[in-house]
Amino acid sequence: MAESEEIEEGKRRRRRVSAAEAEAGAEAEARDPATALGPDVVERVLGASDARSVARSAAVSRAWHGIATSDRLWAPKCEELWKGKAHIPRLSMLRGASRLTVYSMSIMDGQRARVAKDDLCDHVWEYRFKKTAPEYWRNLDPSWKGTGPPMRRYFHLNGSHTADPDDKVWGGHECTFSIVTSYVGDGQIREHYVRINRWPPMRVSRKEDWSWEMSNNLYVYNSVPDAEKGITGPLFPVW
């Protein structure tokens, strides 16, 4: 076969392959529910699906991606996620972020066990003594005796820590707080705690409703749910 004939045959083969690929693509698009049923129907289906399934469906095709990542779809899922949560993260109002991004960042923030100064200062904290605390102190705790609600504590941006004026335990003494975090290799947290003056360090934990608990062998702090405040905590991710 002459060289010119080989070139022409190569061109014909490429055209046949391109035509076959185009036909296969058209058939796949015709089978795509997003095309067959229309975006409104698919959006209603995804709206009734769980968030993980919706996020995965974004990889199905270009049409699915446009539907599965829309703010109209994710806005109600964000509201559903935040329902019943003690604290809604401030980063959920990050300007310019899509609702899918906000949803993902809210999930990650809700799993965060490292408390930040903004968290401490944004919340009112209930304060209770533990059974291991001296009896004298427990007798001063109205919630321990069942004669009143738990005492309350307040953290302030200047590093101070206060109580209500009628608090019998407080005693009016000067009080400060510190947050201590130490790391090991690869940025892994080795130790993380909050300390009031020279009292024993308090371990930090997070509950399912995104509220905080800090405790040592003497007392425990629990953040009071404050959904009415709207948003709390640091503006940017803290891991």
Q: Residue ranges of the domains in the chain?
A: 74-239
Segment holding 180, helix H or strand E: strand 177-183
Q: Report the SS3 class of residue 94.
A: coil
Would you state the pLDDT for residue 60?
Answer: 73
The segments of the chain whose pLDDT lies below 70 read 1-39, 41-42, 227-230
Between the two ends of the chain, the Cα-to-Cα distance in Å is: 68
Which of 194, 238, 191 has its CA nearest to residue 219? 194
- What DSSP character marks residue 150? P
Q: How far apart are CA 177 and CA 194, in angstroms?
A: 7
Helices of type H across the chain: 3-31, 33-36, 39-47, 51-57, 62-68, 71-82, 99-110, 117-122, 135-140, 142-145
Would you state the pLDDT for residue 58?
Answer: 77
Q: How far apart are CA 160 and CA 175, in angstroms?
A: 6
pTM of the model: 0.79
Which of 80, 120, 116, 154 has its CA nearest to residue 235? 116
Would you state the pLDDT for residue 19?
Answer: 47
Would you state the pLDDT for residue 56?
Answer: 84
Q: How far apart are CA 58 and CA 62, in angstroms?
A: 8
Q: Which two tokens stand for residue 127?
A: 């304060």
- What DSSP character marks residue 2? -
Segment holding 202, helix H or strand E: strand 202-206
Would you state the pLDDT for residue 24?
Answer: 45
- What DSSP character marks residue 184? -
